[in-house]
A and B are shown apart, each in its own frame.
Chain A
């Protein structure tokens, strides 16, 4: 099977596979999500109405406030959670939240990753590799 690989500057968490949900937009658990229903809820968000459960979110930048640092842990406890987060640019809150929740996240690419990954593609995230990566099948 042919695949394409994009390397990230940093990563944490476990190796995961899933279907990509891609948009050139930001990410904040507080601002953007209905965490009970597991959908993007902010009307202006490009993924408004989309379910994120089990998906690999490929987005532009971490946005919003500090609540995501707790919310990823809370979302994981209920199992209504993305599989992983792939960002062009992380911020400290996403990193802190991923660290608490033991959540898979990679960030920092030499291309715009939201343009490089097709929406709906099957992908694998490996933050444990010598260079963290996302592989597109």
Chain B
């Protein structure tokens, strides 16, 4: 990679050992992925739950946190993805004290590095949405795909170490979705049916993700019959990224870089077209419903719920009683609004639990399943259904309304 004087100085250790490690890490990654130089970034967003970090990762952070402040502080606004617990509910979830302790240590280390503990995967709805063309170093695949596709920002998937590096150096290697030529469509999806509710948008994301198959693919969707809401885009993008490792999509006539098909498909280029109908989306849902007559727990998470989703959930629960655990996970920015507006109270009066600043699958999902006797799980998040099989769950993808009905019927699915 071509380095400027500042980058050469960082590599030589003139800005301290942490920035020296950070830029060396970025050069290693950039060299592998063919970056020719660095691009300045406006924000970094770090995924770093302690199930992923482990004790080794937390100790690694703590060593850097002991450096002098001028050597350890991030240089650009650096925010965080959900943590591995909501401290107020750790005992209820039957998380072990060592998990909570590890979380506290990780938070202390990040705070010492100057990181803003936003603990959210919906920062594009609640913190500071990126601007079209703005280069970012975002972690969380859902954040990246929404920011790239709906906002027109430019980010690759930046895992925790790389996002932290970007926060420390203020830049990231220029490869992938920082480049104009990588943002063109690579295949087309012709839709004959537009989803109507959130879990169907997620299921559509799953179907398209399975077609895509890898990080280099950029689907362009045609045939959407209306402009999706931010929450619909959120569920679609999160599932597409989860099932397909996809970081960018276009919806022709909707997303900002694809007002016309020719904006993302150059003249003379012929792309493979896949037709997707309602039956394809129903088929994906059916895969997860095999042999499950009842569930042990209902979870709304991944991504964290917006204020609008929390309002929908509260309305569905009014006057009813959840007789199995029902967990609704939102961000620390949305939660105080839910408290103030009475939404938390309405959900909890119906037997639900509102969790803040965590994400279900990032919170020791295997261990809390064993501790609570949870195996069969209902959710309206296609992303969550895709992840939890590996953690030993048997997930089923339902609408929010169906999930609430199951929770209020002792888990029985109708």
A residues adjacent to B (C-beta < 8 A): 10-12, 26, 30-34, 41-45, 61-71, 73-74, 76-78, 89-93, 95-97, 99-100
Contacts of B216 in A (CB 8 A): 89
Flag the segment in B12-20, B154-162, B317-325, B330-338 that touches A. B154-162
Would you call A70 and B215 a contact (CB within 8 A)?
no
Contacts of B362 in A (CB 8 A): 67
Q: How far is the CA of A120 from the CA of B55 in the complex (A)?
A: 33
Q: How far is the CA of A43 from the CA of B386 in the complex (A)?
A: 11
Asked if B54 is at the interface of the complex by the 8 Å CB criterion, the answer is yes
Q: A43-B389, A91-B245 are in contact. Are A100 and B214 (CB under 8 A)?
A: no
Q: What are 29 of the A-B contact pairs (CB < 8 Å)? A: A12-B32, A26-B245, A30-B52, A30-B361, A30-B387, A31-B387, A34-B390, A41-B392, A42-B389, A61-B215, A63-B244, A66-B157, A66-B158, A67-B52, A69-B159, A69-B161, A70-B47, A70-B53, A70-B161, A71-B52, A73-B56, A73-B60, A77-B54, A77-B56, A89-B215, A90-B32, A92-B29, A93-B157, A96-B162
Would you call A10 and B242 a contact (CB within 8 A)?
no
Asked if B213 is at the interface of the complex by the 8 Å CB criterion, the answer is yes
Candidates B54, B140, B386, B389; contact of A74 at CB < 8 Å? B54
Ranked nearest first, the 3 interchain pairs of A and B with the lowest CB-CB distance are A69-B159, A74-B54, A77-B56
Q: A74-B52, A74-B57, A77-B55 are in contact. Are A66 and B387 (CB under 8 A)?
A: no
Q: How far is the CA of A62 from the CA of B141 in the complex (A)?
A: 13
| 18 extra interface residue pairs, beta carbon distance < 8 Å, beyond A92-B29, A92-B215 | A30-B361, A34-B390, A41-B391, A61-B215, A61-B245, A65-B387, A69-B159, A70-B47, A70-B54, A73-B54, A73-B57, A89-B216, A91-B214, A92-B157, A92-B158, A92-B159, A95-B32, A95-B33
B338-375 CB contact bits vs A (8 Å, 1 = yes)? 00000000000000000000000110001000000000
Would you call B176 and A92 a contact (CB within 8 A)?
yes
Q: How far is the CA of A71 from the CA of B141 in the complex (A)?
A: 16
Q: How far is the CA of A44 from the CA of B388 in the complex (A)?
A: 12
Would you call B161 and A96 a contact (CB within 8 A)?
yes
Q: A30-B387, A99-B25 are in contact. Are A92 and B57 (CB under 8 A)?
A: no
Tell me how far the C-beta of A31 lies from the nearest C-beta in chain B, rounded to whole angstroms.
5
Q: How many A-B residue pairs have CB under 8 A?
A: 132
Would you call B47 and A66 a contact (CB within 8 A)?
yes
Candidates A10, A64, A78, A95; contact of B245 at CB < 8 Å? A64
Q: How far is the CA of A107 from the CA of B391 in the complex (A)?
A: 27
Candidates A32, A41, A63, A70; contact of B159 at CB < 8 Å? A70
Tell me how far the C-beta of B119 lies from the nearest C-beta in chain A, rounded to whole angstroms.
15
Q: How far is the CA of A7 from the CA of B161 in the complex (A)?
A: 28
Q: How far is the CA of A35 from the CA of B196 in the complex (A)?
A: 38
Q: How far is the CA of A71 from the CA of B390 in the complex (A)?
A: 15
Candidates A61, A66, A69, A90; contact of B213 at CB < 8 Å? A61
Contacts of A73 in B (CB 8 A): 54, 56-57, 60, 161
Would you call B387 and A95 a contact (CB within 8 A)?
no
Q: How far is the CA of A62 from the CA of B33 in the complex (A)?
A: 14
Would you call B52 and A41 a contact (CB within 8 A)?
no
Tell me how far the C-beta of A32 lies from the nearest C-beta in chain B, rounded to whole angstroms.
5
Asked if B48 is at the interface of the complex by the 8 Å CB criterion, the answer is yes
B201-242 CB contact bits vs A (8 Å, 1 = yes)? 000000000000111100000000000000000000000011
Closest-by-CB residue of A relative to B53 is A70
Would you call A89 and B214 a contact (CB within 8 A)?
yes
Asked if B195 is at the interface of the complex by the 8 Å CB criterion, the answer is no
Q: Which of B60, B214, B216 has the most CB of A within 10 A?
A: B214
Contacts of A33 in B (CB 8 A): 390
Tell me how far the C-beta of B368 lies from the nearest C-beta in chain A, rounded to whole angstroms.
14
Q: How far is the CA of A31 from the CA of B141 in the complex (A)?
A: 13
Q: How far is the CA of A63 from the CA of B25 in the complex (A)?
A: 22
Q: A33-B390, A73-B60 are in contact. Are A66 and B29 (CB under 8 A)?
A: no
* Contact residues of B between 41 and 62, Cβ < 8 Å to A: 47-49, 51-57, 60
Contacts of A74 in B (CB 8 A): 52-54, 56-57
Q: How far is the CA of A46 from the CA of B48 in the complex (A)?
A: 28
Q: How far is the CA of A71 from the CA of B366 in the complex (A)?
A: 15
Q: Which of A61, A73, A99 has the most CB of B within 10 A?
A: A99
Contacts of B214 in A (CB 8 A): 61-62, 89, 91
Tell me how far the C-beta of A57 lies from the nearest C-beta in chain B, rounded to whole angstroms.
15
Q: Which of A34, A61, A97, A100 has the most CB of B within 10 A?
A: A100
Would you call B159 and A96 a contact (CB within 8 A)?
yes
